Amino acid sequence: MKNLLIILLMFSGLWEMQSQNRSESHREKIKELKTAFFTQELNLDKQKAQKFWPIYNEYESELHELRKREHRDLPNLECISEDEAEEMLKEYVIIERQDYVLKEKLFKDLKEIMSSQEIIKLHKLEDEFHKKLIKEYRSRKDRENQE
């Protein structure tokens, strides 16, 4: 619980940054927080962490590229043709398949250094970390709106 409080306090500092570098700084800060959170919660010793992080970082980098493709600027949906919409749906299916393959590769690569139970725990920690980020973001927005 104490560690959770420390992480949440670090999140609160995350939203204080300003300027154009804000987005990049946020990503770096989130990555640092995630690294600390996962390392602690998975009890990664130095040797295991040296093997884990290159695998996980590669996965996250590839996942980020997929998400950029998926969330690219969409045209005004009322202005696209049925054929264009069909092509967009095909692209979404391709992205979902690639996401599946990417996750499958992550699990396979991690199996060389972790147990299946640890990999399941990692999967749960990813969801937990994401929920904490969202909660902190909403909390920060609520405080800003009240001021």
The pLDDT tens digits for 71-100 are: 876 767 788 889 988 998 999 999 999 999
pLDDT digits (tens, 9 = 90+) for 99-141: 999 999 999 999 999 999 999 999 999 999 999 999 988 988 8
Residue 140 near residue 12 (C-beta atoms within 8 A): yes
State residue 17 phi and psi, 5-degree precision.
Answer: -70, 150
Residue with tokens 């060389």: 112
> How far apart are the C-alpha atoms of 112 and 118, rounded to whole Å?
12
